Amino acid sequence: MIRITTVTSTFLLCLTFSGCIRNYEPVISSILADPNPVPKGGVVSLTCNANDDDYSTRQKDESLSYEWFAAAGEITIGEPGNTATWTAPNESGLFSVSCSVTDEYYGLDIATIEINVE
């Protein structure tokens, strides 16, 4: 009797989960910064390359949203949102700029690039 219950439970479990859809998080493959290094107060063009490999046809065409962050300097988000410009501060140093990418089902990836200001 225990064996039958186990097999039945497993069978029902398979039936229950066979229709489940798994959301794969977006993956940032690279952030490009041009130029890098940049002079003080210079402008850098940024591009965040990301994809979302969902296999479900229902999630295949979900859109990705991009946000840009920098602790110093100024970010201006471009169109499309995976591009931005960063105006470097008027001081030399190594500065970080980050991009976060989310999908419609709350998947998330974050990447950071370091830009040398000379």
pLDDT band at 100, cuts 50/70/90?
Answer: very high
Q: Which helix (H) or strand (E) holds 6?
A: helix 2-17
pLDDT in the model for residue 53: 79
Give the residue, 115 or 5, on which the prediction is more confident: 115
- Whether the per-residue pLDDT at 12 is higher than 80: the answer is no
Report whether 68 contacts 81 (CB < 8 A): no
Give the residue, 101 or 10, on which the prediction is more confident: 101
Q: What is the C-alpha to C-alpha distance for residues 48 and 43, in angstroms, rounded to an integer?
A: 16
Residues in the chain: 118
pLDDT band at 83, cuts 50/70/90?
Answer: very high
* Ordered domains of the chain (ranges, CATH): 22-117 (2.60.40.2410)
